[in-house]
Structure 1
Amino acid sequence: MNEALNSPRLFSDMAAMESYMAESYGERVFVEMLQNADDAESMRFHVVERDGHVFIANDGKPFDETDVKSICRSGASEKQRGKSIGYRGVGFKSTTHLSDTIYIHSNDCTFSFSRSLAARRLNIEDLNAVPTIRIPFLAGEIESNVLDMMNELKRMGFTTIFIFQHANYQTLIQEVESLTEDYLLFLRHIRQVTIDVHGIALHGSIQKRGDIISIQFNNRSSSWKQLGRDGAQLAFLLNDNQEIVPCSRKQAVFHCYLPTYEESPFALKINSDFSTDPSRKHISLDERTDEALNQSASLLFSELQSQVNSDCSQLTGLVEVIGKRNTFNKIPRRFIEEFYSMLRKDWILARDGRIVSPEHFKKRPTFLDESEWNLIRRHTPLLGTLPVTNGEALQALDGFLHDFAKESYTLAEWILMMSSEDFMKSLPQPLYIKLYANIFRMARNQDLFSQTTQDLHGCLIASGDTYVLIKQAKEDDLYTFFNELRKHISTSELRWIQEKFEINLDFTSSTETSTIQKQTSLSTNVPRQEQSTRKVISRWRAAEQQCMEFEVIQGNTPRDVSKQNLGYDIVSRTPSGEERYIEVKSVKNRGTKISFTNNEYTAAHIHGDHYYICVVYDDAEDLVFEYIRNPLEKLVLEKVVRQWEWVCEEYDGEIFKVQGQ
């Protein structure tokens, strides 16, 4: 009282600050009281309205002298960040939005805050110059109906009761009606919430069994898997089989113990001691938030690493959750940056005991669809290329790490697999032929571009119910094999294979009358009198024409559509019938910034895995073609306001070098 009389300007400023806090917190009065109750280690939280008065009660630790001082002041709370909520001691100021006369009963004592009473005692006529929650008064006479309800709540075991006299409960009703079970998820102590306000009756219960949290609220139920305890926490939605599934976009938000309006980067919940604005609705990116984001990202990475390296049954659901970004806003983007930096390190346990990074993980090549790739991964004899996880979890992990991996199986590894009889027996005939078509194509490209050869003498082909080495195959088996193979390769590729193997194949007559003349060994290591010269592409043509030439070298059939403004320059059809949509970017050297127009961005979105960026640049005497498949998935793009373009400063694709002239 003396302080208020001696410093009237300061007292008036406090009133203005209180008014600001009430307006800023607005529709978060209920959650502020819920937070305070949880901080007091309450098990039960109860809200009831009687005769226009609102009672909010909990059964936590009763008030002591320190609590009274903290609630009266601003920023004087004893709460510590990371250990409790509302550390600034200002949250309770928002409750003046409900009433300017508040009673608090706790520890066998009842005191009140009243703006009108404080104004009378201080002889201040302007109520706007008087804060409500500053000067506590020992309660005098209390209305009988208020006293009766207070005593009833005490008999129910509640230790602290807040009474908002003649409350503006319409605001509270709007807030209560917007509540979901999410508000109860990260509470530390409260296990039961009951609300009975002006005809609205809600009941919530929380059960915790290990890391599983089950919530019932307002006829809704949900189960969550929660990771972490103090500091950072994550929560994954569970289905009826207790399997991890993506939560809805509305649920996928950051929590600062209670939900904010900030979207989570993935379909999960992230809770930590983030810095927020006064309303606690938006996260502020400062040093404390940055630390909390790092801790949260580390927690998610540790969970992923644990599940991958232990073949956990929950891995499929986890990968589904983190396999698709939910938003590209600033806060989640910072989380993604930290999480992805951890992903790029060595952490995957392979079946041969090595620890590898996603960069060395095997990604699905473009010529295989997912079902074909999954079959190959299940049966490959190259166990060192597999993580310890398998089955559906392996399929999910392959899909998730595809954009982090640098390469698929090498030609030498494909040859090793095609030399395994057990592996060959696992392949259906169409896939077996498709693999050989692409193996021969890769071998031919190596021969043409780098003049290196691969020994194919150990590869097997079908012979009745068994498999034999190509060089030991009967003429009929060879004819059947190559007759099927030529449906998937170009004429030039077939000619190269015949020259390579020194075999003459005649497909002009029927199977019965055709002859296959086998001249020498099929080993590709046999020296030839005439070596293939390295293919050369003219440097002086436009980049689009250079890319067209390179597509022809690969056995594809390209078509220039650059003048049609489709969002790509070339449509190229592979021998297997796949159409590739290629946008050509010519740069001076690798690392030069490339950009996307809106049209190109849209085309990339529509065509997905069939859309490629081909970056063309010089490397000494070579002309380099760097292909980036599905760039929207693989690249980190930044929207820059010139004309709308999508800019990328780092790219990493499959590189081919061709001698320029």
Structure 2
Amino acid sequence: MSILSTVRQELLTEARNSPQLLSDMAGLERYVAESYSTRAFIEILQNSDDAGADRVAFARGDDWVICANSGRPFNLNDFRSLCRSASSSKSRGQGIGYRGIGFKSVVGIADRVHLISNQLQATFSRDLTQNLIGEPAPVPLIRIPHPLTIDANSAQLTAANRMIEKGFPTVFIMEGLNQDQVAEEFARFDSDYLLFLNHVASVELQDSSEVRFQCHRQLLTAESAILNIFAPTRSEKWKVERRRDIAIAFSMDGERVVPLRADESIAHAYLPTLEQSGFGIRVNGDFSTDPSRTRITLDDHTAIQIDSIAAVISERILSTMESPDDASSEMLACLSPNVDDVALKFQKRSFRSELLNNVSERLRPLQSRLHLAPIWLNDNDAAAVSIAPEGRRMIAQSAADVSAAVKIAKFAGVKTASTQELLASAACGSMTSTGCAELISHVIKSLVPIGVSVEELISSNVWFADDGPHELIEIVASGSTISAHFLESLKSCGTDVISIQRRVGRYMEKEGLAKALGTSIAADNFVTSGNPEYATPNVMASDPLGDSLQHFRNVSIARGSRIATTRNASAWRSAELCVLGLLTDLGYEAEDHSRQNLGYDLLATYDSKQYFVEVKSINYAGQPFSLTPNEDSFARDSPDRYILALVLRATDTTFVQFLRNPRTQLEFTKQCRQWSWECSQYEFEADYELTEP
């Protein structure tokens, strides 16, 4: 008995024994057609790849479409699975599809389908099925096969025979088209569909014109390959790394890997979904999906796949961070999260959040191997200094540009090296004179306790005389002087001799200190905070953002006063960077989130307390400013932790005022021009006056 006769008899017997079954199948088909809208070509492409096809072709006529592939012809099990819903002959991991319902997506574009695959020739038609069953109830299109019923002289059969002559043993002919759906299928076909397929190397689409998509695969190892994918309007290069049934893909520019944008960094369930990976790469796995195959379902099987992908990503990150080379920054840029970790906490559970959290947990070992360098420390010292006792390597940070290594380190929970740890390392001679100057300047200028007392600072070998590093106490006692070059380094960091005298003068003989600093002026204008280990000029040691802020107001500017301002202050490239630098100097661990539209610009952390700082630049005291709906919502949700930083930049000075809980403390008026909240009634009293060096 032929394949057609065997399957036809099985299904016909079932239908006659259970007439309701066909009606149920018809309902399932309608659901699949709606769920798989504009994905019929994708499903046919998937089935062709599972059959081992390296070539696939789609051709359109007046009221017909032909889909042909060069893969293995249909056998009995293949044909039985095609006709039966949700009964694929494949188990998970044996191919791209496993439900056996994907092909039914063709019912969304055609009402009659013919199949020619070597000796197997069949037609699927609702009319033929209803006539055969003799029941008026709805019947499915793809269920009971019939002998091939097509006009031997038709254009579509002629076109199908040409496909067979070109080496396509399997051809589907679809008639009675939904023309709009078919047009959209042709228009939306994308080279992305080829990325994680195993066999298909060429796809031809013949509509009003002929276009071709090609994929050239160059194996590097058993687990990696370079793919060059060519589309009519662009070409792409990818590096794909496979591990069993999962894979990750890096976009390439020449010989370099480059990170993808967040909207390009999608997850594939062999074919593209609408889920984002959360990293600058694409990922592929045998994920469970909803019927449309566009959304990943978070079930136990998907969890296993996520775990496998997370293992591959974290292994690449750990090996790259441990043994950096010239390509490290490029690789890390691709593997760094492209989602803000704070924003992620407020988002619902998704494939992206699950993968990010899994990778983050696997990167925890970095916490015992690495430290982040503080922003104020130069790159050379950050790279050279290791932190005792574990000898942790440091990663340099920049206020203006957050590197991929820094993003990953923060993502893994790596902490910034403390001032105390850096002082201990510097005192052992591991830091250059430039680094020591930056360290001293940071301690001198800090307005909050940072774990290093003045006595510790002056008793450490970080003060450079002409013959090398010494304790400041030693230099003063011996009547020596600090080298002029080192004093210049301190000055370039914003710390002059007067600042040093005021900060350390109470611990040392003033004339000797003045001599060591190369000045005849003995400054005595300093105050203490009440903490015998901490002295600071004119301010109190505390958490400025968490206090009432009244202690810090020392500059008053009359409402409406206009002073000479500059829009390009050399020390601060923007109001955000100005406040970021100030918060860092105040002892906060500050991060710039101004480009992520979270409802605030900066995240400031002090003693485990987090503050959300929104920066507003004003040209004169009392100038109205606005909150966007996003900012207003965040300010209402986190009133005690939401800080408004008003920045007034003059020609040589920048004034900063901090306002906590602005939605309660200030009066806002709703403005309809952009649905923003405007405040025009407030007194500008600067908390800080920042003079450019």
Q: Whole-Å Cα distance in 2 between the matches of residues 148 and 406 of structure 1? A: 70
Select 2:349's aligned residue among 319, 330, 342: 330
Residue 238 and residue 390 in structure 1: after superposition, are their counterparts in 2 closer, same or farther (change >3 A)?
farther
Matched residue type, 1:23: E
Give yes or no for contact 1:85–1:257 (8 Å, CA) kept in 2: yes
Give yes or no for contact 2:116–2:172 (8 Å, CA) kept in 1: yes
Select 2:637's aligned residue among 645, 653, 658: 645
Residue 514 and residue 359 in structure 1: after superposition, are their counterparts in 2 closer, same or farther (change >3 A)?
same
- 1:159 is the counterpart of 2:169: yes
Matched residue type, 2:379: N
- 1:307 is the counterpart of 2:320: yes
Residue 201 and residue 643 in structure 1: after superposition, are their counterparts in 2 closer, same or farther (change >3 A)?
same
- Find the counterpart in structure 2 of residue 226 from structure 1: 240
Select 1:498's aligned residue among 494, 500, 505: 505
Deviation at 1:272, TM superposition (A): 1.0
Q: Whole-Å Cα distance in 2 between the matches of residues 551 and 362 of structure 1? A: 35
- Find the counterpart in structure 1 of residue 520 from structure 2: 514
Select 2:462's aligned residue among 459, 463, 477: 459
Q: Any gaps of 5 or more consecutive residues in structure 1? A: 347-356, 518-530, 565-574, 584-598, 615-624, 633-638, 650-661
Q: Whole-Å Cα distance in 2 between the matches of residues 63 and 400 of structure 1? A: 49
1:241-287 alpha-carbon deviations (Å, 9 max, x no partner): x2222223332211111111122212321211111111111112211
Deviation at 1:4, TM superposition (A): 2.2
Q: Any gaps of 5 or more consecutive residues in structure 2? A: 1-11, 524-529, 560-577, 587-593, 615-630, 642-693
Give yes or no for contact 2:501–2:513 (8 Å, CA) kept in 1: no
Select 2:441's aligned residue among 437, 443, 446: 437
Residue 2 and residue 218 in structure 1: after superposition, are their counterparts in 2 closer, same or farther (change >3 A)?
same
Please, which moves more after superposition, 204-213 or 175-184?
Answer: 204-213
- Find the counterpart in structure 1 of residue 405 from structure 2: 397
- Find the counterpart in structure 2 of residue 8 from structure 1: 19
Matched residue type, 1:187: L
Give yes or no for contact 1:309–1:388 (8 Å, CA) kept in 2: no
- Find the counterpart in structure 2 of residue 131 from structure 1: 140
Select 1:25's aligned residue among 17, 31, 36: 36
Select 2:604's aligned residue among 602, 612, 618: 612
Q: Whole-Å Cα distance in 1 between the matches of residues 235 and 544 of structure 2? A: 60
Deviation at 1:58, TM superposition (A): 0.8
- Find the counterpart in structure 2 of residue 239 from structure 1: 253
- Find the counterpart in structure 2 of residue 173 from structure 1: 183
Match of 2:196, SS?
Answer: coil
Give yes or no for contact 2:81–2:88 (8 Å, CA) kept in 1: yes
Deviation at 1:82, TM superposition (A): 2.1
Match of 1:27, SS?
Answer: coil
Matched residue type, 1:435: L
Select 1:101's aligned residue among 112, 136, 139: 112
Q: Whole-Å Cα distance in 2 between the matches of residues 197 and 532 of structure 1? A: 81
Give yes or no for contact 1:181–1:220 (8 Å, CA) kept in 2: no
Residue 170 and residue 230 in structure 1: after superposition, are their counterparts in 2 closer, same or farther (change >3 A)?
farther
Q: Whole-Å Cα distance in 1 between the matches of residues 419 and 634 of structure 2? A: 42
Q: Whole-Å Cα distance in 2 between the matches of residues 280 and 446 of structure 1? A: 53
**Cα RMSD over matched residues?**
4.8
Match of 1:289, SS?
Answer: helix
- 1:424 is the counterpart of 2:424: no
- Find the counterpart in structure 1 of residue 372 from structure 2: 363
Give yes or no for contact 2:425–2:431 (8 Å, CA) kept in 1: no
Deviation at 1:479, TM superposition (A): 8.1
Q: Whole-Å Cα distance in 2 between the matches of residues 577 and 75 of structure 1? A: 57
Please, which moves more after superposition, 70-79 or 248-257?
Answer: 248-257
Q: Whole-Å Cα distance in 1 between the matches of residues 640 and 242 of structure 2? A: 36
TM-score (norm 2): 0.69
Matched residue type, 2:409: L
- Find the counterpart in structure 2 of residue 195 from structure 1: 205
Q: Whole-Å Cα distance in 1 between the matches of residues 101 and 598 of structure 2? A: 51
Residue 323 and residue 546 in structure 1: after superposition, are their counterparts in 2 closer, same or farther (change >3 A)?
closer
Please, which moves more after superposition, 66-75 or 431-440?
Answer: 431-440
Give yes or no for contact 1:99–1:166 (8 Å, CA) kept in 2: yes
1:358-404 alpha-carbon deviations (Å, 9 max, x no partner): 255222325x1xxx432322343769745599999996424531462
Q: Whole-Å Cα distance in 2 between the matches of residues 171 and 55 of structure 1? A: 15
Match of 1:274, SS?
Answer: coil
Deviation at 1:186, TM superposition (A): 0.5
- Find the counterpart in structure 2 of residue 656 from structure 1: none
Q: Whole-Å Cα distance in 2 between the matches of residues 301 and 136 of structure 1? A: 50
- Find the counterpart in structure 2 of residue 56 from structure 1: 67
- Find the counterpart in structure 2 of residue 596 from structure 1: none
Select 1:84's aligned residue among 95, 100, 110: 95
Q: Whole-Å Cα distance in 2 between the matches of residues 170 and 577 of structure 1? A: 54
Q: Whole-Å Cα distance in 2 between the matches of residues 416 and 286 of structure 1? A: 49
- 1:148 is the counterpart of 2:143: no
Q: Whole-Å Cα distance in 2 between the matches of residues 483 and 645 of structure 1? A: 47
Residue 438 and residue 45 in structure 1: after superposition, are their counterparts in 2 closer, same or farther (change >3 A)?
same
Q: Percent identity?
A: 24
Q: Whole-Å Cα distance in 1 between the matches of residues 53 and 248 of structure 2? A: 23
Deviation at 1:334, TM superposition (A): 1.5
Select 2:382's aligned residue among 377, 382, 387: 377
Give yes or no for contact 1:441–1:493 (8 Å, CA) kept in 2: no
Deviation at 1:582, TM superposition (A): 12
Q: Whole-Å Cα distance in 2 between the matches of residues 381 and 516 of structure 1? A: 37
Deviation at 1:438, TM superposition (A): 2.7
Deviation at 1:496, TM superposition (A): 5.1
Deviation at 1:35, TM superposition (A): 0.5
